[in-house]
Structures are given as C-alpha cells and as structure tokens.
C-alpha cells in the first residue's frame, strides 16, 4: 500500500512539474520525462500494463498515436545521415521520443488511483507556468533595457528567453483557452476568482502581442472565433455568454495591437512578402519572405522524392543543398527547416508519414466534436494552424507540448471533470 501511494505521488508531482515547466525552461523537460519513465519501469507490472491496452479501447486508441514515431523510425532505414549532431536520424528520433512515450504512459498508467483532481491540477500548473514565464521575461527585459536603453528588448526574440516566440505564444494561447472555457462553464463561481481569471486572460494576451509572433496573434484570434462557433453549434445554451467573451477577446486583442504598433508592423511584412518578387529577395532575412522561399524549395525536393521522402535524417542536408542551388543566402546561413510541419513530415517520410500526420489530427478532431469536448478541439486547432507556418514537431518545445497534452486530453475526455480550474 505504501509503495503504491509513493509511486502515485511521484507520478502526480512529476506530471505537475512537467506542465509547469513547459512554458519556462525546456532543458528541464528531458530529466522530468526520464524520471517519469523510471517510475513507470519500477512499477514492474508489465502484465497489468499490457492488460490495460488489450482490454481498454481508450488505451488502444492512444497507442495509435505512436505510429507517427514509428514512421520516422522506418525513415532511418533509408537515411544516409544517421548520427550527425542536431541533424541526423538518431537525433531526430531522440527529440521526437515524446510522441512515443506519452501515449504509452497514458495508455498503461492507472491515473484514476493518483488523484481525482489530477487533470485540473495539471491545468493549474500549466497556467501558473505561463504566468511565471512572463514574469521572468519581463524582469529580464527591464534589466536589458537599463543596459541598452531601447524598447526593442520588450518585443519578439529580445523578449522571449530560452524559447522561440511562436512556441511561447502557443502556450499562452492554450492557457487563455483553458480560462475562457472555465468562464463559459462556471457562471456561478465566486466573483473574485472570475476577476482573477479575466485579468490573467488580458495579461497573457498582452504578452502574446509583445512576442510579436504573427502566427501566435492569428491563432489567438482564431481561438476566440472557434470558441464561439463551437458553442454555437454544440452548446447553444451558452451562445450569448460565449459571444460576449469572444467579442471582448477580439476587441481587446485589436486594441492591444494598436497600442503596440511594433507588433502590428510585423503584419505589414507579410503583405510586402506576398507582393514582392521572390527572385530578388533571396538575400532577405525577413521571416515571411524566408518562409515563401523555403516552401518553394521544399516542394521542389518533394517532387524528386514524393513517395517515401528523403529519410528521417536527410531533410536538412537536402534542403541546404537546394538553398545553395537557388542561392537563398539567409536559408543557407540559418539552415532553415521547412517551417511547415506537413511539408517537413512529407519531405522526411513521404506520403505514408504525411497521411499518418493528417490522421493524428483528423481522427481526434472528429472524436472531440462527437464528445463535444471544446478543450481538445481548440488544442488541435491551435496546433494545426501553427503547423502551417512552423515545423512544430522538430523542436522539443513543440514535441513535448504536443505529445503530453494530446495524450492527456485524449485520455481525459472520458475520465475527468473538464470544466473546473
């Protein structure tokens, strides 16, 4: 009994620490996941774990998510570059381990014996982690301001420390989604808690704008719209309230953008990139121009390897080769990936990998809609939109976030009360 209780406490606090740490400091994530894995192994109940998979449909469906990792594993068989640091197939498999491990953890661990409020505590920890992340960023920016005497330190990559702005904006948007869902579902809660949550929503929204991630701002606006549409279609009793929440969110987001014109100015670059002659912009380091040039290059490589891709470890080398051929200076210097996860997966593993990636989102989307599970629906929508402009599953910051919360939300749909914070 004592051993069981101790093991459950380890699980609880390790998963809590993981959720809290994701928005703060990525380098701590690997040790936490390793400790979770050790705890999982030291249970020594492998027959029981196998029985849970055999007899539980939710567990079986969770295991299907590991197919994305397996297709990358197959891609190593025809990769020439196996062990090159930060580019080879083995490195890619190591980084993507979360896609394999978290579905297995949630399929085989009996979370009902840990704590009844496990899911809600995870959400608390993640939101708190997002707030802590903003405090660290702001304090560091103030420190840099007194050194450099420029307001640039409060924007974009200067503001984001240890994380890319797009990933931080995604985390903060998901935290906002958790809180606006709580507002919609808990109208009878005490006013003080409601005020605190409204303040945190507006507070995180300001930081999303300051991070100046174009994708992050678009995803936040889309989240408000999808939030309202979901309730309109599936929970009509809440339409009036959710329309007010969504409208206030979009209005305050627009006002924040106008208040910080530097962030708003990044959208002008998108228009200029679309209207520009890409042939004359090959030396440009502007992100929108770079993406268009990279997508064009990626499609040319895909045309040469459409069915099975170039292999898990050869994506970067093939892209750089194409950049050199086309003379795209900025892409060569930074060794840019495709900045689109669907192109990245297609390029690495071919049509089989692309199909599996689509199914890893399409089937859960259908499942979330059937279960009328808005949290999971918004989570998937955020990721898909981000994946159109970022290779989210090529960095630990994206992989751990996806692997952990995808498995957690899929599992929790039928297990926990999902409207309390």
Domain that holds residue 65: 2-113
The verdict on residue 404 lying in a domain is no
The verdict on residue 346 lying in a domain is no
Q: Is 7 in the same domain as 93?
A: yes
Q: Is 145 in the same domain as 93?
A: no
CB of 192 closer than 8 Å to CB of 239 = no
The verdict on residue 130 lying in a domain is no
Provide the domain count of the chain. 2
Would you say the C-alpha torsion 277, 282, 287, 292 has a positive or negative sign? positive
CB of 106 closer than 8 Å to CB of 346 = no
The verdict on residue 43 lying in a domain is yes
Please list the pLDDT of the chain residue by residue as tens digits (421 residues). 447 788 889 999 999 999 999 999 888 999 999 999 999 999 888 999 999 999 888 899 999 999 999 999 999 999 988 876 667 888 899 999 999 999 999 999 988 888 788 989 999 999 999 999 999 999 999 999 999 989 889 988 888 887 889 999 999 999 999 999 999 988 776 688 899 999 999 999 999 999 988 899 999 999 999 999 999 998 887 889 999 999 999 999 999 999 888 777 766 666 555 555 455 455 655 667 778 889 999 999 999 998 999 999 899 989 999 988 888 887 888 888 899 999 999 999 999 999 999 999 999 999 999 999 999 999 999 999 999 999 999 999 999 999 999 999 999 886 654 444 4
The verdict on residue 350 lying in a domain is no
Nearest-angstrom CA–CA distance, 355 and 345: 10
Q: Is 47 in the same domain as 93?
A: yes
Structure tokens at 214: 């174009």
- Please give the pLDDT value at position 335: 82
Q: Is 23 in the same domain as 75?
A: yes
The verdict on residue 236 lying in a domain is yes
- Please give the pLDDT value at position 189: 65
C-alpha distances (whole Å) from 353 to each of 97, 100, 298, 350 are 16, 15, 16, 6
DSSP 116-134: TTHHHHHHHHHHHHHHHHH
Instruction: Report how far Cα 162 is from the mean position of its chain's Cα atoms.
Output: 16
- Please give the pLDDT value at position 2: 47
Angle between helices 118-148 and 2-21 (to 10 degrees): 40
């Amino acid at each position: 009994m004592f051993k069981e209780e101790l093991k459950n406490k380890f699980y609880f606090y390790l998963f809590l620490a993981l959720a809290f740490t994701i928005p703060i400091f990525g380098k701590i994530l690997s040790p936490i996941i390793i400790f979770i894995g050790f705890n999982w192994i030291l249970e020594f109940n492998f027959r029981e774990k196998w029985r849970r998979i055999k007899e539980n449909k939710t567990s079986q469906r969770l295991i299907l998510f590991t197919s994305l990792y397996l297709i990358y594993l197959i891609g190593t068989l025809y990769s020439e570059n196996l062990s090159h640091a930060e580019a080879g197939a083995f490195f890619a498999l190591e980084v993507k381990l979360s896609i394999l491990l978290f579905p297995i953890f949630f399929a085989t661990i009996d979370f009902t014996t840990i704590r009844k409020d496990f899911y809600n505590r995870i959400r608390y920890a993640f939101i708190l982690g997002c707030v802590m992340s903003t405090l660290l960023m702001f304090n560091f920016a103030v420190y840099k301001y007194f050194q450099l005497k420029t307001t640039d330190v409060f924007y974009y990559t200067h503001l984001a420390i240890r994380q890319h702005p797009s990933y931080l904006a995604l985390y903060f948007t998901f935290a906002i989604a958790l809180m606006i869902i709580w507002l919609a579902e808990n109208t009878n809660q005490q006013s003080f808690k409601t005020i605190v949550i409204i303040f945190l929503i507006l507070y995180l929204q300001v930081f999303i704008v300051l991070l100046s991630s174009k994708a992050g701002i678009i995803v936040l606006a889309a989240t408000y719209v999808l939030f309202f549409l979901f309730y309109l279609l599936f929970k009509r009793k809440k339409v009036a309230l959710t329309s007010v929440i969504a409208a206030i969110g979009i209005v305050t987001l627009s006002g924040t953008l106008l208040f910080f014109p530097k962030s708003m100015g990044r959208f002008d670059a998108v228009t200029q990139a679309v209207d520009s002659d890409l042939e004359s912009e090959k030396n440009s380091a502007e992100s929108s121009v770079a993406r268009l040039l990279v997508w064009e290059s990626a499609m040319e490589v895909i045309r040469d390897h459409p069915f099975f891709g170039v292999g898990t470890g050869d994506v970067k080398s093939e892209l750089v080769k194409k950049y050199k051929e086309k003379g795209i200076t900025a892409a060569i210097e930074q060794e840019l990936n495709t900045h689109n996860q669907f192109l990245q997966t297609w390029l690495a593993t071919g049509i089989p990998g692309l199909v599996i990636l689509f199914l890893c989102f399409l089937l859960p989307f259908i499942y979330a809609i059937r279960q009328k599970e808005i949290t999971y629906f918004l989570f998937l929508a955020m990721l898909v939109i981000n994946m159109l402009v970022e290779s989210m599953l090529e960095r630990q910051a994206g992989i751990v976030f996806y692997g952990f919360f995808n498995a957690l939300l899929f599992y929790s749909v039928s297990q926990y009360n999902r409207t309390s914070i």
